[in-house]
Amino acid sequence: MAGKVANPVERKIERAEQRCVNAACGARYGLRERIYVCAKCGETLEIDCHLARPSDPLAVRERWAAAKANPKLPRDASGVWRYQEMLPFDDDAPFVTLFEGNTPLLQAPRSAKYCGLAGLRLKHQGYNPTGSFKDTGMAAAMTQAVISGARTAICASTGNTAASLAAYAARAEFQAAILLPRGQVSAAKLAQSLDYGALVLEIEGNFDDCMRLVQELGDEPSIYVANSINPFRIEGQKTVAFEMMEQCSWRVPDHVVVPGGNMGNSTALGKGFQELLDMGLIARLPKLSVIQAEGAAPVARLFASLSPAQLAGEAELPERLAVVENPKTLATAIKIGAPVSWKKALRAVIRSRGQVISVSEQEIADAKAIIGRDSIGCEPASATTVAGIKKLVAAGHIRRDEDVVAVLTGHQLKDPDYMSNYHRGTLALPVGEKDAKPVHGAFQNAPERVAATKSAILASLKQRH
């Protein structure tokens, strides 16, 4: 067939299906069924791609490398769609793309030293089209939205998800609608969504009301729900594992460390690595560790309470998570008290023998400044990784000479106020409340006033050198 590229993976896509993550339920649904949670038990769903182990795994690696070096199809220029044989879409699917993925793996020597490591690499998902890791998942979710025949995509979000949905919906010629509690969201956070033309609806209610409305609206045939419960988003996001392995020349890192909010990112990475292992493309899993902010750390708390048998994967994990009612952190992208994907993420961490820990606001802020000194900008949530790695090294969970990759999730300019406040010494948690706790800028770099003379400037340069 014209334009058809030889594919070394025997595709089983016709058998791919959605399955309930609750093993005791085990319900399965077709890919085309527009369903966001299990109809039988209400749990979240995941996609089982039924990938077949290729007879020659090296041929798969070679096809991906060739597609990247010399894209023959438009979709090969996307860091998601290049890995199409791993995704639950047919070859002729209406791929929605803004050329997401293709993000760099950056050396971070100062951050490594700060953590007590010989070396550290940062996979920066903030280089995506709208500045966050959400874009890889949204490319897949919006493609599925087009397949579904819907006309409007909705979500309830104040930040990165909203911006990503707005951009991808616009590209797919969909209407995007973003539901928010009235008067509780800053205009700056929504600026990207407004620019991409999304309909922003300020609801007379709280965030829970918005979530409830999104679920109710999901019954409408014309409406597609792109919230975190959407399992297709995990499919797009898992490609970061594939791209990371290519950039590591297929040498599996000892540790991969990610921030933990809704836990979609850790779920996706865990799924991506597991699929590579199942297909014989890698020989072992990296230890996957997740770092939460202290004031929004329900999974880290649960993890700390697990028995040795549970940590070893020999006993059932708890069915329930004690949610944090009023999460508090300046790292807004992970300010989540009831993470949607905690169960899938926790399983991936335990399977790989990783850790889930939390770090303080002070630790996040200082780690962010150190990452900055490596000439790498990121949003505050991303910096939990470096703060967490420092603690994991100190606790002996990561050895000094081990190979560590951390995933940064968002762009530096997602939250410029945070940086400005840190360097000027005005950062505090929680903002505007009477128990506000100042965060000391240990690596503070405030602007300096100087007289309008050459000698004053030279004196300043000499002093700060």
Residues that bind Zn ion (CB under 5 A): 20, 22, 25, 27, 38, 40-41, 43
In the complex, what is the shortest distance from the CB of residue 79 to Zn ion, in angstroms, rounded to a whole number?
Answer: 32
Kindly state the smallest distance separating residue 31's Cβ from Zn ion, in Å: 17
- Contact in structure between 273 and 282 (CB atoms under 8 Å): yes
For Zn ion, the closer of residues 5 and 23 by Cβ is 23
* Of residues 23 and 315, the one with the C-beta less far from Zn ion: 23
Contact 355, 303 (CB under 8 A): yes
Q: Are strands 255-259 and 287-293 parallel, antiparallel or unpaired?
A: parallel
Tokens of 108: 């971070």
d(CA 388, CA 297): 13
d(CA 169, CA 224): 11
Helix 264-278 / helix 342-352 crossing angle, nearest 10 deg = 50
What is the smallest separation between the CB atom of 39 and Zn ion, expressed in angstroms?
8
Radius of gyration (Cα) for the chain, nearest Å?
Answer: 22
- Give the C-alpha separation, 106 to 405, whole Å: 9
Element (H, E) at 459: helix 454-464
Nearest CB to Zn ion, comparing residues 35 and 147: 35
Minimum CB–partner distance for residue 356 and Zn ion (Å): 24
Cβ distance to Zn ion smaller for residue 45 or 392: 45
Q: Which is nearer to Zn ion, 22 or 215 (CB)?
A: 22
Distances (CA, A) of 368 to 9, 361, 377, 411: 41, 11, 8, 12
The distance of closest approach from Cβ of residue 38 to Zn ion in the complex, given in angstroms and rounded to an integer, is 3
Nearer to Zn ion, 20 or 364 (CB): 20
CA distance 25 to 46: 13
Nearer Cβ to Zn ion (97/341)? 341
Which lies closer to Zn ion via its Cβ, residue 267 or residue 421?
267
Q: Whole-number minimum distance, CB 41 to Zn ion, in Å?
A: 3
User: CA-CA distance, 60 to 62, in Å (whole number)?
Assistant: 5
Quick one: 41 or 436, whose CB is closer to Zn ion? 41
Q: Under a CB-based contact definition with an 8 Å cutoff, are residues 276 and 348 in contact?
A: no
The helix or strand, by DSSP H or E, that contains position 437, with its residue range, turns out to be strand 437-438
Residue closer to Zn ion by CB (options 37, 138) is 37
- Considering the complex, what minimum distance in angstroms separates the CB of residue 21 from Zn ion? 8
17, 22, 24 from 27: Cα distances, Å: 10, 8, 9
Nearer to Zn ion, 27 or 170 (CB): 27
Minimum CB distance to Zn ion smaller for 38 or for 165: 38
Q: Please, what is the minimum distance in Å from the beta carbon of residue 346 to Zn ion?
A: 18
Give the DSSP per-residue string, 366-409.
Answer: HHHHHHHHTT----GGGGHHHHHHHHHHHTTSS-TTS-EEEEE-
Instruction: Return the closest-CA partner of residue 33 out of 16, 21, 50, 51.
Output: 16
Q: How many CB atoms lie within 10 A of CB 114?
A: 23
Report in angstroms how near the CB of residue 94 gets to Zn ion at its nearest.
Answer: 29
β-strands 175-181, 199-203: how paired? parallel
Six-digit token pair at 224? 């597609």
Closest approach of Zn ion to the CB of residue 374, in Å: 44
Tell me how far, at minimum, the Cβ of 319 lies from Zn ion, in Å: 13
Closest C-alpha to 393, from 347, 364, 355, 360: 355
Please count the other Cβ atoms lying within 10 Å of the Cβ belonging to residue 288.
26
Smallest gap, in angstroms, from Cβ of residue 42 to Zn ion? 7
